[in-house]
Amino acid sequence: MTMAKRKLFIWKRKHKAMLLIEVLVEEPHKYRPGSKERGISWTKIAQHLQEGRMKVSQRSAREKFDKLYQDFNKKRKGRKWHEASGVHVEYDEIYQALTNIHEQIVNWQEQQQGKEEGEKVTAEEMRKRATGKLSETKRRTSTDNEENSDGTTPKKRKSHTSVTELLEQSIERKASKQAEQQLNR
């Protein structure tokens, strides 16, 4: 059984630029790693590259981008030192695209951290409310809402109907029903 050899695709400078442009447009990094949405976005990127006569798969495009991004992060640290020393640093299309992608990734990570912190705060408040005593809960809600300045909660007024009044009303109803029944006979 002979296996057909796949031709090895060689990534040239223009191919790398096309890949980075597609990554900028599609933004696969805004989805959680390993998620279905992220896989779909990488598939779209590979399909767009295949339309441009590039023989790539989802995996090869993703791996090439990861390699480019890792190299960029290593070089970026070195470039900071060169820029500080006054050495001229050349900015090309690939470097600029990687810089834009890096900014997008950093912004996305900051948003995710903000969401996680917000969820932690709400979860902590829920735990406090669930485990706290009723009196503590009333005190906390009154201080949260600041309804009263003295810290007491307004009391509800009780109903004025007493047990004796209810008994008298039921006796009157029974008597009126009996009177109606006697008239109907």
pLDDT digits (tens, 9 = 90+) for 53-112: 889 999 999 999 999 999 998 888 776 666 666 666 567 888 899 999 999 999 999 999
134: buried, middle or exposed (CB in 10 Å: 19+, 13-18, 0-12)? exposed
Residue 128 has pLDDT above 60, yes or no: yes
Query: Residue 165: what pLDDT?
Result: 84
* pLDDT tens string 133-183: 666 666 666 666 655 555 565 666 666 667 788 888 999 999 999 998 888
Query: Residue 134: what pLDDT?
Result: 66
Phi, psi of 54 (to 5 degrees): -105, 135
Query: Residue 23: what pLDDT?
Result: 92
Tokens for 148, please give them: 């009263």
* pLDDT tens string 11-39: 899 999 999 999 999 999 988 889 999 99
Cβ atoms of 56 and 46 closer than 8 Å = yes
Q: What are the CA-CA distances from residue 89 to residues 80, 82, 100 (Å)?
A: 10, 7, 17
The predicted model scores a pTM of 0.60
Which residue matches tokens 């809402």? 145
Query: Residue 91: what pLDDT?
Result: 75
